[in-house]
Amino acid sequence: MHSVMRKFARVVVMAVAGMTVGSVAQAQEKYPTRPITLVVGYAAGGATDIVARLVAKSLSDTLSQPVVVENRPGANSNIGAEAVARAKPDGYTLYVGSIANTINRTLYEKLNYDIKKDFTPVALLATIPNVLVVHPKLPINSVKEYIAYAKQHPGKLTCASSGSGSSIHLSCEIFKLETGTDILHVPYRGSGPAVADLLGGQVDSMFDNLPSSLPQVQAGKLRVLGVTSLERVPFVPDVPTLAESGLPGFSVQSWFAVMAPAGTPANIVETLNAAINKGLQGEALREAYEKGGFVSPAQPNTPATLQKFVDEEIDKWGKVVTSAGLKVQ
């Protein structure tokens, strides 16, 4: 009798186990079953917010679930990043990371999250090259002339930025390191005031985001000398790269990527990655990117390629921040 009972118990346990495994598999296959939140660490209207909303619409169409953008600005995107790092790793709260997060890792003396340890990479969304622009009053028409002018006038040539520690600022810092020039950094509270003073001639130059300066260049109000991407940009095909202007390997680009809290199941990460890549290859997102000045990532665009890219960015900007002696408490 006891033997029969033991056999019956084993059958029940196996059946329950089978139901549990089946339920888990079924739950995994159904992801997502409710709205997904994309957290942006900046206020609405900026480049990170714009690309997040474009991708959110694409993701919603592909996954058949609402994808909502939530702006949590502050501390150069650190507030939003920390919130997502502490979120449940179930694929329903995601973070739109950027170049700022790799800079902040060295720039800030203390952070309550680690961009490498607390996040799982999902997919790169887009990049934006910076452009070296100068006020037309300067007798400078190329990157080589800009370098020569800086060396002839040490400490006199000014370079504006959207703020200390921004990618625009560090573009200038890495340029100074690679060229051995002494250029005066002039920080502003945002790129808008910086561009305004550049247009007015109060400052001489700036490594601005391409979408921001392109209209001023096209109107003849600013002179563009080069782009900071390794390859020429389709929007300004006649503008040379800094790499081909005497600075081999020079590459600075603002970028945006979807990241999930560490521990997010692999199948969810794969589902999100596939959905993002499908959107990036679609006509609607391609057209929106062209209008906004965004560049689609190279293929393959996988979690592994994103992790490698983030590691490289952390290393590169860590060296720049340390060499420039920058720190934020």
pLDDT per position as a tens digit, 219-261: 999 999 999 999 898 878 999 999 999 999 998 888 999 999 9
The pLDDT score that the predictor gives to residue 305 is 97
Structural contact between residues 227 and 131, judged by C-beta atoms closer than 8 angstroms: yes
Q: Is the pLDDT of residue 152 over 60?
A: yes
- 19 vs 325, higher pLDDT: 325
Percent helix / strand / coil, the chain, rounded to 5: 50, 20, 35
Lowest average pLDDT, out of 125-129, 172-176, 288-292, goes to: 288-292
Residue with tokens 């909303």: 53
Task: Name the 3-class secondary structure at 189.
Answer: coil
User: pLDDT for 64-103, tens place per residue?
Assistant: 999 999 999 888 889 999 999 999 999 999 999 999 899 9
Which pLDDT band, with edges at 50, 70 and 90, does 106 fall under?
very high
Q: What is the pLDDT of residue 29?
A: 60
56: helix, strand or coil:
helix
Q: Beta strand 205-209 with 223-227: parallel, antiparallel or unpaired? A: unpaired
Helix (H, G, I), strand (E, B) or coil at 94: strand
Q: What is the pLDDT of residue 10?
A: 54
Q: For the chain, what percent of residues have pLDDT higher than 90?
A: 64
Task: List the structure tokens of 235.
Answer: 């929007």
CA distance 327 to 9: 64
Closest CA to 257 of 9, 13, 10, 77: 77
State both tokens at 54.
């474009």
pLDDT of 11 > 80? The answer is no
Tokens standing for 299? 């293929």
Residue 3 has pLDDT above 70, yes or no: no
Q: How confident is the model at residue 114 (pLDDT cuts 50, 70, 90)?
A: very high
Q: How far apart are CA 259 and CA 272, in angstroms?
A: 10
Angle between helices 303-324 and 99-107 (to 10 degrees): 40
The yes-or-no verdict on residue 6 having pLDDT over 90 is no
Given a cut of 80, whether residue 137 has pLDDT beyond it is: yes
Q: Which of 329, 289, 312, 266 is nearest to 116 (CA)?
A: 312
